[in-house]
Amino acid sequence: MTLDVLPGRTGGAAENMASDFLLLQRYPRAGAARYRHYGWRSPAFTFGYSQKISYVRDQLPAGETFDLCRRPTGGGLVDHRDDWTYALVIPRGHPLEEARATQSYRAIHEALAGAFDGAGVAVALKPVAEPAAGAEPGGPAGVCFERAEIFDVVHARTGAKIAGGAQKRNKRGLLFQGSIWRPAAGGDAVDWDRLGGEFVTRLAAALGADASVAPWPELEEDEAEGLMEKYASPEWMEFR
């Protein structure tokens, strides 16, 4: 297997969410895993597929301008204003794609924790689940970086949550969308380019794959634009 490492891109919230989903649905290389690290064109928040928009709006900072988009994956509200964001797609039939969600989550975060150790940041994985205090009533996890879930990456000394993620499985494979909160990890004191390279190396090892730089795939332009319009639409944003 190959882990295709795609070029970095910067986009708006709807564009980034649409691109991640299309990498799951329409990626042209069968049997290849794919990875990308990307940025945000403007301040942005994303929230989980199952979250209620009324809850999300109550958590957002007042009086500020930002992009907002519902993700195709689950999880809680994520602040992307100072994070390091990535997406990983594992094709159908791979052992990690077929594993339980907690197992795939743990394996990806173990690779990330190893990369942090290599960068000199002491981290650990959250070992146990805790009651969801402060989470959305009657719903999924609330605000991502307010508390750590099981197998999230946390600071070894302070216990502060550094990295979390959310997953979606369908007939094409597994999409994992991950976010690292830079301030909790040390901010500009971390060599993020080095960390990103080490993360790719460890991800490839976890997948039993060879990492290879790959060009951005030629996705169908009309479909990409249509999906981006969907993710930007009030109907998508407010259907829950």
Q: SS3 letters for the chain? A: CEEEECCCEEECHHHHHHHHHHHHHCCCCCCCEEEEEEEECCCEEEECCCCCHHHHHHHCCCCCCCEEEECCCCCCEEECCCEEEEEEEEECCCHHHHCCHHHHHHHHHHHHHHHHHHCCCCEEECCCCCCCCCCCCCCCCCEHHHCCCCCCEEECCCCCEEEEEEEEEECCEEEEEEEEEHHHHCHHHCCHHHHHHHHHHHHHHHHCCEEEECCCCCCCHHHHHHHHHHHHCHHHHCCC
In a domain, 63, yes or no: yes
Supply the pLDDT for residue 144: 72
Compare 130 and 109 and report the one with higher pLDDT. 109
Q: What is the mean pLDDT of the chain?
A: 92
User: What mean pLDDT comes out for the span 69-97?
Assistant: 96
Q: Contact, 178 vs 165, CB < 8 A?
A: yes
Q: Domain range holding 28?
A: 2-100+165-237
Average pLDDT estimate for 87-103: 95
Q: Is the pLDDT of residue 125 over 60?
A: yes
- The pLDDT assigned to 140 comes to 47
Percent over 90 (pLDDT), the chain: 84
Q: What does the pLDDT average to over 5-25?
A: 96
Arithmetic mean of pLDDT, 105-121:
96
| Number of independent structural domains in the chain | 1
Section 63-69 average pLDDT:
94
Task: Note the pLDDT of residue 94.
Answer: 95
Residue 159 lies in a domain: no
Instruction: Look at residue 135 in the predicted model and tell me its pLDDT.
Output: 47
Does residue 93 sit within a domain?
Answer: yes
pLDDT of residue 130: 58
The answer to the question of residue 145 being in a domain is no
Identify the CATH number of the domain in which residue 199 sits.
Answer: 3.30.930.10
User: Residue 138: is its pLDDT beyond 50?
Assistant: no
Question: In this structure, is residue 141 part of a structural domain?
Answer: no
- Higher per-residue confidence, 142 vs 75: 75
- Is the per-residue pLDDT at 134 higher than 60? no
In a domain, 8, yes or no: yes
Rounded to two decimals, the pTM is 0.93
In the chain, the percentage of residues whose pLDDT exceeds 70 is 95
* The pLDDT of residue 90: 97
Asked whether residue 150 is assigned to any structural domain, the reply reads no
Residue-level pLDDT at 143: 76
Q: Give the pairing of strands 83-91 and 78-79.
A: unpaired
Checking if the pLDDT of 128 tops 80, the result is no
Structural domain contains residue 152: no
